[in-house]
A and B are shown apart, each in its own frame.
Chain A
């Protein structure tokens, strides 16, 4: 009923052309706040996560805790010590991820853009992995398997990188293609199982994660893989011809791959016929089938694309950041990718922004752990807390007294849909 009311009073006599409602920008901005559109909710979730993190920092701080012991005698002690801890923690987070103010005043200090490049190095695989989740998500598939897909990509790219000795240029391209292929096959298996047997992708991706992880462990004990004369589970370093070239500082060109992939995904999802069918299948597979789309083939295609993107995470790790293949090549990016995609709400642009933010958290968390007494785990907790707030938009609306959005809780609905898919 309310839905039909939104279209305005129906005209009786003459069929009126549909009127276009185009409110001025300030009205839209205000509505955006009042009705809590996605961007506002995301921003407020970030704010809530910061506040939550501040509590954790204060509670983890020894002086604050001891001041809490006599809170009612001198409450200001608690507050001032908590404030010291929180500001130290967050400023370390900022120095470690964006800009180190110390470098302005001291010679031989940390280079000016070192923190930012740490952020970018972390952001590239997060963005690629986030895209791998986001693209599948648009087809209604919950891809939990980035970890396995990136490991398979890393194995293939790494093997080409240290084993095949090809001329410069060609070597890198072949290694990248191998990485893409490895991930694509691992993702494609999931799509194939879903299409042919209806196996739920959440289950198959999780299982394939284990398979990939222990497969890598096994490979690293094999002669051809394990570095000669090494007792560690590691391969020989990647040939210099297969390494991702450096851009500046220690930022390697994995970042360029991530940006290109993001633009590619944007085109795929909003401009391509394939993306159109992927979205239709994700939103209503029955209508998609009725309109002549091949739903099963769509599942396979989208999982191949997602796997290929995850394979690029493996490439970025093994050919760029690590330059060697080890058991911990995934560095937890496989699961952070899910958080990134959720924060980015399944859109490529959102995923890039979320990837940058989480990259900053990763980089800053290291500095925070090194320079303050705050454990860096606080940052790891803030990330999921932010997503929790987003997944429960009603919570944010309640806290900030926003009116219910007309469109409904997009994030929550999308999440629920993903699981039912």
Chain B
């Protein structure tokens, strides 16, 4: 199917979200739509999917002008959309989810499950989409759930798939699997619109790229263009993809973790006797695939989880059993990995969120009473200092974009005098511009002499920031390596090889270049 969007304009009040956007997707091509958060990518796709009506412009399918009154029309025309947040029912099986909304009935009036199941198996075989048709969706890993979404679209005879930031929720391995699936789909003749702001993925898979900035198409670079060029086009100015940093000058030990073990109430060993030290003025990165115990380690460090055994010592003081507020009081800053779930109160204003863990301390409070003037002054200061893009400090934090939410959390944590900063997945879901900013602030904090623990699943981020790197695998530290270690060696550790094996295997491996600058590792 050939899709053409001609001069699509969509306005929201005074804001023009899409300004005369042209886009042509040829049959059987992967067309990447690249742009920062809020550039208008999702608006454009919602126009295409019939969720919004364009104020001006035309949608042409196979050169015939079409209008979509709603997603039903778009689906009937062969357009399938895979949203960033899955629209699946967790207690249904894969087959049931796929047939949902298009249930067919057998002559006895029962649901034609077997026929649907055959259909699922058929599509899944044709495109190499490996899904268990009878498994409950809630039991499946995120990557497989996404495949179910794709399968759902394909089962409705979609000839053009829109994937909205599909890799944001995936681990590196799952991303690779998705890329394989996308290639298979393309080779089978399906057109794909791939929305992303991750440069290396776009460069790896796209046949054509359209860059959108502030609602306008600003260029169609070749996929062979460098990451730096793509980023510059996307952001509108040259972007530094690699943080400028001097070698660390580690001083005294700030954090000591000794034989830390955490066992869940169900008896699962989440963290298995982990030990490490972090010194003032260095960034200690903990890499690893999501779900290998990193989250639990950070939560134990700030007293959110009481470890089963082991010790945590900050500046010589045993803090293992302290409560979270006592730990924070010691000068620990914490940026949790899920900012909207753990870092912010979405319905609170930006100003309130900026004092969320200091609201009861001077100067923001005296004798149990809030000092609203001081809270507002602090907010104005931090909003300016961290360039938080918000209509006002009184706007609720939940309405901000991901990058700006993260800036609010960072601004709050960095506005206290810190000895130890713990940041988990600091740039997850952020665009290139915000990423650069966050990285710079973390390095600045290190240079002030703060000990930094960075937990990240993004290898580029780990390689770009870390002064020492630990890799966690199944609750254990699989190995500790110096910065500059080749990416594939770390990748092997993340996949469970032992440190010696990884070092031995890495040189013979010829996959990837391990260059953090272009971010093509793993």
Contacts and interface: CB of A to CB of B under 8 A. Distances in A.
B38 A18 contact: no
B404 A7 contact: yes
B440 to A, nearest CB: 13
B414 to A, nearest CB: 15
Contacts of A271: 369-370, 372
B360 interface: yes
Interface in B320-344: 323-329, 334, 336, 341-344
A12 B232 CA distance: 11
A6 B344 contact: no
Contacts of A277: 359-360
Contacts of A20: 391-392
Contacts of A17: 383-384
Interface residues of B, number: 58
B11 to A, nearest CB: 10
B393 interface: yes
A284 B324 contact: no
A231 to B, nearest CB: 51
A289 B304 contact: yes
A21 B326 CA distance: 39
A273 interface: yes
A5 B37 CA distance: 10
A2 B51 CA distance: 12
A280 B348 contact: yes
Contact of B391 (A18, A279, A291, A294): A18
A272 B342 contact: no
A290 B401 contact: no
Interface string A259-281: 00000000100011110110110
B398 interface: yes
A73 interface: no
B46 A8 contact: no
A6 B368 contact: no
A6 B237 contact: no
Contact of A274 (B345, B368, B391, B393): B368
A3 B399 contact: yes
Nearest to B385: A15
Nearest to A9: B214
Contacts of A294: 323, 325
A12 B328 CA distance: 35
Given A7-B391, A19-B391, A12 B370 contact: no
B275 interface: no
Contacts of B372: 271
A40 B414 CA distance: 41
A287 interface: yes
Contact of B370 (A9, A272, A290): A272
B235 A18 contact: no
Nearest to A22: B392
A3 B348 contact: no
A293 interface: yes
Interface string A298-330: 000000000000000000000000000000000
A3 B347 CA distance: 13
A151 to B, nearest CB: 31
Interface string B358-373: 0110000100111010
A273 B365 contact: yes
Contact of B348 (A272, A274, A283): A283
B323 A3 contact: no
Given A18-B388, A292-B328, A7 B368 contact: no
A288 interface: yes
A21 B384 CA distance: 16
Nearest to A8: B15
A288 B401 contact: no
A30 interface: no
A10 B342 contact: no
Contacts of B15: 5, 8-9
Contact of B345 (A1, A2, A4, A287): A287
A276 B346 contact: no
A87 B334 CA distance: 64
Given A280-B348, A283-B346, A294-B323, A10 B214 contact: yes
A126 to B, nearest CB: 27
Contact of B334 (A4, A9, A11, A290): A290
Contacts of A290: 302, 304, 324, 334, 336, 342-343
A77 B235 CA distance: 74
Given A4-B38, A18-B388, A287 B235 contact: no
Interface of A: 1-13, 15, 17-21, 267, 271-274, 276-277, 279-280, 283-284, 286-294
Given A18-B384, A272-B369, A292-B357, 12 more contacts: A1-B38, A3-B398, A3-B401, A5-B38, A15-B387, A273-B360, A283-B345, A284-B344, A287-B341, A287-B342, A287-B356, A291-B324
8 contacts: A6-B12, A7-B391, A7-B395, A8-B389, A15-B387, A276-B352, A279-B348, A286-B342
